[in-house]
Amino acid sequence: MTRALIIVDVQLDFCEGGSMAVEGGSDVAGGITEHVIAHGQEYAAVVATADWHIDPGEHWSDQPDFVDSWPVHCEAGTAGAEFRPELAGALDHVQAVFRKGQYAAAYSGFEGSTEVHGEQIGLAEWLRERDVTEVDVVGIATDHCVRATALDALAQELDTTVLLHLTAGVAPETTEAALEELRAAGATLRG
């Protein structure tokens, strides 16, 4: 069994002060760094995902419904798309960043890609090449991108654990619904 840590979307726009701030986001960033420093040696790989929108179409809206459309966030190359500074210690251990959502909505880290030897490679293939069979998922937001990434990890037949103390959700109702969905799909919820 080979375990990887997937750090989901711990970006400035998703934390306090950002365009789509999630309460507790900066605390989650600091907690992830502490976790990686204390437990990094337990992982064969540590990766991060990031929204990296260029023109995601109807995903951005001046009048968002907060279901399918959202305020402008994580625009490629802007400060809002950068990782939280509290995450810096964890980023020292990150082997690859998978950027997603350039031209469409993308919630799951498995929709992202990174460059390897001049080629774009997706998260599932990257993990398979390293014989990863188990993943821990942390980050923002529990009820959106963490949920989607964990569900896709399960679909890739990876033993999937969500470390709840290292996630932050947008709203209690949607977070609880996401946790129920994850439990039903076979994810382990810890912390």
The residue extents of the domains of the chain are: 3-190
- Give the list of residues 6+ apart from residue 106 with CB closer than 8 angstroms, or none: 51, 56, 100, 112
Respond yes or no: is residue 9 known to be catalytic.
Answer: yes
Alpha helices in 82-171 (DSSP H): 88-91, 123-129, 147-155
Average pLDDT, rounded, for the chain: 96
Looking at residue 68, its pLDDT comes to: 84
Q: Name the catalytic one among 13, 15, 143, 145.
A: 145
Question: Which CATH architecture group holds 3-190?
Answer: 3-Layer(aba) Sandwich (3.40)
Cβ-count burial 14-46 (b if 16+ within 10 Å, e if not)? bbeebebbbebbbbbbbbbbebbeeeeeebbbb
**Do residues 2 and 44 make contact, with C-beta atoms less than 8 angstroms apart?**
yes
Look-up of token digits 């923002």 = 140
* Percentage of the chain exceeding pLDDT 70: 99
Average pLDDT, stretch 38-65? Answer: 93
The catalytic position among 51, 74, 100, 143 is 100
Residues 129 and 134: their CA atoms lie apart, in Å, by: 13
Q: Is the pLDDT of residue 69 over 90?
A: no
pLDDT in tens, 114-159: 999 999 999 999 999 999 999 999 999 999 999 999 999 999 999 9
| pLDDT of 1 | 66
- Does the active-site annotation cover 100? yes
Tell me the pTM: 0.96
